[in-house]
Chain A
Amino acid sequence: MKFIRNVNWALCLLTLVTGTKAQELEVFANLEGGIPFSSSLKDFHEELANQITIESFETTDNFGYNYGFTVGFRFNQNASVFFNNRVSGAKTSVADFSGFIRLTNELSGYTFGLEYEIMFREFDKSKLNLGIKGLVTPSKLTLTSESNIQNEVQSESLEFNSLDFGGALGLNYEYSLGFFTLRAHLDVNIYLGGKLTLEDDDSGGFLTDQNGDKVTTSWTGLAGGLGILIPLSK
């Protein structure tokens, strides 16, 4: 996994360096948000939470959405390389005068992607592109159980990693404002989820649900973003 991560970093840096030598280079940054179609993590969290039989132990977050940001470079207005960081989470907790019990699952995804855009329509100051993305996402799931009952503090965390591969198809809308361009996109991400393996454990074990099925990050879903695009050179 470390090897794949290092390769991706190298590839990203290489693309970035190569891009700077292209004829036209733009940098862009987006704020991202997404809604997963489904997630085995969601079921996993519910299973986990149900094992704790404390009254009013309620789930308030359960991978219902994710958010993050994207930065990247686009070359010649049709090829981009980008880095996307998205987070999502689940939380079940209860608290009263005597303390709290908290169970959280935090999911972070670091996506390295390539996009190729095809102009679909062009307007006066704007245009609409059809984009196709290739995605490699190393994910990290942090499972944390915390409690503080009558000042008796207990905390335990487990970290799981996975490498997810996916692709996306979407529309990019750009509106030029002179110095920079506003940019919005809406994509459908399709991932093949990888196994979530325990960090620092070489036994080959991975996270499964109560049925013995593997639990995946499943970033699959709708993803949208809004940002700016700044040309660096022409």
Chain B
Amino acid sequence: MSIFVDDDTRVVVQGITGGEGKFHAGQMIEYGTNVVAGAVPGKGGQEVAGVPVYDTVDEAVEAEDADASVVFVPPAFAGDAIFEALDTDLDLAVAITEGIPTQDMAKVNKRLSETDTRLLGPNCPGIITPGEAKLGILPGNIFADGNVGLVSRSGTLTYQVVDNLTERGIGQTTAIGIGGDPIIGTSFIDALEAFEADTETDAVVMCGEIGGEDEEQAARFIGEHMDTPVAGFIAGRTAPPGKRMGHAGAIVSGSGTGTAQSKIDALNDAGVPVGDTPEEVADHVEDFL
């Protein structure tokens, strides 16, 4: 079992003719993902990474029966690309693009609330169900099939934690990067809810970071609705207020909301052990299993 993607997922890559899109489409296919088409305006009829390219997502879905998309479109056009995915009624759209203006995402967010499509990201590494499918840029070789679910706001931090788990022989059901932007589609709670419902996920790792209140809300959700044990990690304990720490969403406000301590406290209150180091997170997971 897994959540959101598996070997039946049929993927269209938006922006497949660009450098990133082309490279990662190839990597996804190599991993075994069912990439069935690309979509790039003006490039219909071409073939990239062995799959046909269409001018619109609509055409690609029509012709190749795709049900998910991965967006590798530059920030200025990415909002539009996500709208196109949402308006095509896909099951899942994964937006990798970093640097989409927040006001564009506010409009996307409004449209998202009117559709049944799940959006992952933007500014995320994507999602992987080891051995079945990966949609995004995650390095497939560090993951292993197993029974731990992982949800994180950051890419490389995810890799670090997964590496610690895999090294100990602990594999993953599905690993999800939800993205480091202030406005994102799938939230921690959405992912946690799905892991809770997944019969093969025996433990969950949640990696949060400073900024916003998603981690606090997730902590309340864990306390009230989850039986599956969760181990946590929060990045940004040493971040000064008012400074954007790389991710557009990783900022402690001047009033002191969004601090690492508030998130750690909330998780601890919900019975979630929070590691001081990535190694400690792996220790907690090992204890659960």
Q: Do A and B come from one complex?
A: no
Instruction: Report which B residues bind A (CB closer than 8 A).
Output: none
Instruction: Report which A residues bind B (CB closer than 8 A).
Output: none
